[in-house]
Amino acid sequence: MKTLKNGELWYDTQGNVIHAHGGCMLKKDGYYYWYGENRNDDNYISCYRSADLREWEFRRHILTTHSPVSKSRVKASLTLVNEKGGKVNLERPKVLYNAATKKYVLWVHYENGENYREAACAVATCDVPDGDFVYHGHFNPFGYMSRDCTLFQEEDGTAYFISAARDNADLHIYRLQEDYLNIDSLVNRLWQGEYREAPAVFQRNGTYYMLTSFCTGWKPNQGKYGTAESMDGKWSILKEFGDETTFHTQPAFVMPIGSPDNREFLYISDRWDEEDYNHSSYVFLKLTFDAEGGLHLEYDENVPLEGRKGWKEKGIDDGEASGNS
């Protein structure tokens, strides 16, 4: 089997380039589902799946300009094309499984395809992880701007939507309602005026970590992270991780890997090509932690998966996980 090299174009099992940018992963029934942006043709978001994080099978374009639409409780525009009939812009899709409703719920950053002034979020749902998602429209949470975003799910099912507000100056944490279809409340505003983007949240040994980038368009910059004892509690001052370009990456997601008593964390990131978006690639790296819980990222040209020391023997059968430990 081939080794995946970080920063190269990766291909699915049909030989097509994988388009899952700004994405996330969800573990369900023995598969990792990888969702991400696909800006080609009528597509918005594509889904791939893999049992080993290396061989990726294309499943479906789960959200396109032709996706079915349906109103939810939130009054929201349901159009998936803009006023000129062109494509809108859907960035950083994140998907959670709601065990109570048995729905897969997707939140994503919405823009009108012309500029970044809508600064909205959008929601879609599906009964299966890789089916045609039903679009429920876009809105501004409590009227706030909402750009780069992520989702985080606690083990008890409580979920949070995190997004950049106030022209990216601040990061907001919103608790979601039980069915994940609307926001319950704004529970935190972080790092005001520090312009953090690309949030990725996970929990390790009871500590919550949020990785972020600075706000420099498609250009990479120094990654920073904060920690907290609860999502709605006090978060630390930001500390640096990786190098001054975070090894030419921007965070997309952190995927917990391995058994609960031997948990490791995979940093899933984009290496954007600002000249040719479709030439953007992925960089997967292992996060490491020091005795004080400090987080570190070192570069490795190889993706740290099965066959690589430290992963094969630990196995990747980690039950179902989506960001927590």
Residues lying near ligand DGJ in the complex (CB under 6 A) are found at 22, 91-92, 148, 197-198, 217-218, 250
Determine the Cα–Cα distance for residues 61 and 37; give it in Å rounded to an integer: 10
Q: Which is nearer to ligand DGJ, 12 or 270 (CB)?
A: 270
Among residues 150 and 182, whose Cβ is nearest to ligand DGJ?
150
Strands 223-228 and 207-214: antiparallel
If the CB atoms of residues 122 and 316 are measured against ligand DGJ, the closer one turns out to be 122
Dig out the tokens for 139 from the structure: 């809105």
CB of 151 to ligand DGJ, least distance (A): 15
Q: Is 142 helix (H, G, I), strand (E, B) or coil?
A: helix
For residues 217 and 319, which CB has a smaller minimum distance to ligand DGJ in the complex?
Answer: 217
Please give the structure tokens belonging to residue 62: 């789960």
With a CB cutoff of 8 Å and minimum separation 6, the contacts of 296 are 241, 287, 288, 289, 290
Other Cβ atoms less than 10 A from the Cβ of 88: the count is 20
- In angstroms, the CA 136 to CA 61 distance is 17
Q: To the nearest whole angstrom, how small is the minimum distance from the Cβ of residue 271 to ligand DGJ?
A: 13
Nearer to ligand DGJ, 122 or 198 (CB): 198
Tell me how far, at minimum, the Cβ of 240 lies from ligand DGJ, in Å.
Answer: 18
Closest-by-Cβ residue to ligand DGJ is 217
* Separation CA 38–CA 134 (nearest Å): 17
Q: What residues pair up with 315 in beta bridges, in sequence order?
A: none
The alpha carbon of residue 5 and the mean position of all alpha carbons in its chain are separated, in whole angstroms, by 21
Terminal-to-terminal C-alpha distance of the chain: 29
Nearer of residues 62 and 119 to ligand DGJ, judged by Cβ = 119
Q: How far is the CB of 49 from ligand DGJ (least distance, A)?
A: 23
State the nearest-atom distance from the C-beta of 249 to ligand DGJ, in Å. 11
**Least CB distance to ligand DGJ at residue 131 (A):** 25
Question: What is d(CA 269, CA 97) in angstroms, rounded to the nearest whole number?
Answer: 22
Nearer to ligand DGJ, 31 or 272 (CB): 272
| Shortest reach from residue 198's CB to ligand DGJ, in Å | 5
CA distance 254 to 82: 32
